[in-house]
Chain A
Amino acid sequence: MIRGGAPARPVTTVELLQKAERARRDGRLPEAEGLVAQVLGLAPRNVLGHLLAAYLHAAERRSDKARAEFQTVLSLDPAHPRAMLGLARVDLESGDVASCRSLLERALRVYPDFPEARALLDVVLGLAPARGPQASPGPELRLQKVVLPAGTRECLLADVDGTILFSHPVSRTRDALAGHLVRVAGIASAALGRAGLGAMRRGAVGSNSGTTFVQSDPRLVLALTLPPDVEAGAALRELEALWARCMDELGAGSREGNG
């Protein structure tokens, strides 16, 4: 006896990919990952399968796995614009600005009308090249007139190339902090500029361990970390006063140096 109708048609990789993309867009990432794994089991060289796998790793913040998948896409299709953009993002996250820039420029050469790549290239071009490890930063300034606000956990003044001009306390992570703050100021300026609001002047980043208030201009970044529960308005006034004192002293130092 024959039961039911015709035997079920096997699901194609195209259908699986469509389902996976829908699941990704709906935020059902584990389901999307399962579907992509099925696709790549059936067709290990499927470009869209590897691209979706890369996006899903990136969405779950697994940057190394995302990088490997974007690289696989580019090994199969060297001019794939979305893979170039994805890999550029991962490179920027890991601090490889040169590779990020090269990938974005390549993507824009192939596809000049690619707004996200253009936006990220603007970010990268706005970041000053970091000081090389061989470069001599020169002695740090002794800002004699600078009195830090009560409760200061950390204070750092850096050039936009990451050179530290002043830091308190002298911690082993200060170089990493300076680089991070310079990148944050640069990317925030790009975001504000893209929204037509102008370049970043001030900001604050809250974390469990404290709130870091930041003031910047095209040349310098000043950061002041205070306890997490500090009142933002008062802290920003402290920051502005500190900035003015630093600029005064830097100006005086430079005048003495020139005289």
Chain B
Amino acid sequence: MAEASGPSRAERVRSLLAEVASLDRVKGGVLVAPDGFVIAAQLPPDIPADPFAAVAATLGRELELGADRLSRGMVGTAFFSAEDGSLFLGGSPVGFLAVLTDRDADIPRMRETVKRMLDALQQVWRAGDHRGENL
């Protein structure tokens, strides 16, 4: 039975996000659905999850819609950097993964990590969809 087979989907999502948040140079991250629902968050206490996730989802939707309007195909990962750090963002059918890093993060490596994590999160989150399992 699902309950006996190991950690629940929610636990696995949180554990994957915790794995990202524990990486060198990473401050934290959030997985947010396109409607703004926060699926999981691992952020420093001075960054409240809901408002940050609301802005991250808005950015993710703008990237998706812009690519669609401009016939650019599927959006992959994106990153944006400022004086004191960077934001890495990736989209999937489930929603958007936003990861915050300090200023010295390795950009190509982080983009690859975000891509890999999105694939893993997607697999875990949608795993029970057609079976009606609880998390």
Chain A residues at the B interface, C-beta cutoff of 8 Å: 24-31, 55-56, 58-61, 66, 85-86, 89, 92-93, 115-116, 118-120, 123, 173, 176-177, 180, 183-184, 187-210, 214, 228, 231-233, 236
Per-position binary interface string of chain B over residues 37-67, scored 1 when its CB falls under 8 Å from any chain A CB and 0 otherwise: 1010000001110111011101101111111
Per-position binary interface string of chain B over residues 19-49, scored 1 when its CB falls under 8 Å from any chain A CB and 0 otherwise: 0000000010000011111010000001110
Would A201 and B100 count as touching, CB distance under 8 A?
no
Would A89 and B36 be within 8 Å (CB), given that A206-B111, A207-B74, A208-B73 are in contact?
Answer: yes
B4 at the interface (CB under 8 A from A): no
CA distance A194 to B77 in the complex (A): 20
Can you list the 9 inter-chain pairs with the closest CB atoms, starting with the nearest?
A: A208-B73, A119-B51, A206-B76, A58-B35, A198-B82, A198-B83, A180-B66, A203-B80, A188-B80
Would A195 and B100 count as touching, CB distance under 8 A?
yes
Residue of A nearest to B84 (CB): A197
Contact residues in A for B80 (Cβ distance below 8 Å): 188-189, 191-192, 200, 202-203, 214
Q: How many A-B residue pairs have CB under 8 A?
A: 177
A209-B72, A228-B76 known; 10 other A-B pairs, CB under 8 Å?
A26-B10, A59-B37, A93-B61, A119-B54, A119-B55, A180-B69, A194-B52, A206-B77, A208-B74, A214-B80
Would A26 and B47 be within 8 Å (CB), given that A180-B66, A208-B73 are in contact?
Answer: no
B70 at the interface (CB under 8 A from A): yes
Contact residues in B for A58 (Cβ distance below 8 Å): 34-36
CA distance A183 to B61 in the complex (A): 11
CA distance A188 to B134 in the complex (A): 35
Would B55 and A191 count as touching, CB distance under 8 A?
yes
* Residue in B39, B51, B75 whose beta carbon sits within 8 Å of that of A205 in the complex: B75
Would B82 and A192 count as touching, CB distance under 8 A?
yes
B98 at the interface (CB under 8 A from A): yes
Per-position binary interface string of chain B over residues 74-107, scored 1 when its CB falls under 8 Å from any chain A CB and 0 otherwise: 1111111111111100000011001010000001
Residue of B nearest to A171 (CB): B70
B120 at the interface (CB under 8 A from A): no
CB distance from A102 to the nearest CB of B (A): 17
Would B132 and A86 count as touching, CB distance under 8 A?
no
- Give the most central of B51, B73, B74: most A CB within 10 Å: B51
CA distance A203 to B79 in the complex (A): 5
